[in-house]
Amino acid sequence: MEKSSQIYHEKQKLQFCLLHALNNLFQEKDAFTRADLNTVAEKLVLVDPNRENQKWVPFIFKQHHNSITGNYDINVLISALEQKGKSVVWHDRRKSASSIDLNKSEDVLMGIILNIPVIRFRGLWKSRHWVALKRIQGIWYNLDSDLHTPHSFRDTEEVKEFLDFVIGCGAEVLLVSHEKE
């Protein structure tokens, strides 16, 4: 049963899928804004020990994002979540999803962020897409910003099957927790 009317779900705009995934994960419209993520990306450049070796960085294609369309990288994701007191654990893709404890309390496991490879325009465009999975009132949802509405999973077994499928397609799985593990 879909209870999507109660669920916050941002839709895809340009390449701001990381922004949408984070807001969908937090279930809040402005948990993060474009300006917030741009600031995180710029701070990452300032603390980069190799920044002296980067003599020229184009205005549009920044080190950790595209200043016009978004397309933020993993460093922005981790830094943004850490600023909100969350921790990120990278799932070992050599292991099946059955090794993930999806029944952890919602007070501990906030949700899952996926980074999925995508091929568009008949193979001419290859990129990656950020997606949030979150348990809300005991039901796991796929909050992919490319979906028209959130997709509810039947149970944790269906979530694990989905995760195994996307891992098999080259996806990265990141577990987001409220506290350090």
Catalytic residue annotation: 17, 129, 144
* CA 36 centroid distance within chain: 15
Count CB neighbours of 131 within 10 A: 23
Question: Residues with Cβ < 8 Å from 130, sequence gap 6 or more?
Answer: 17, 18, 20, 21, 72, 77, 113, 114, 115, 116
Bridge-based pairing of strands 87-90 and 125-136 is: unpaired
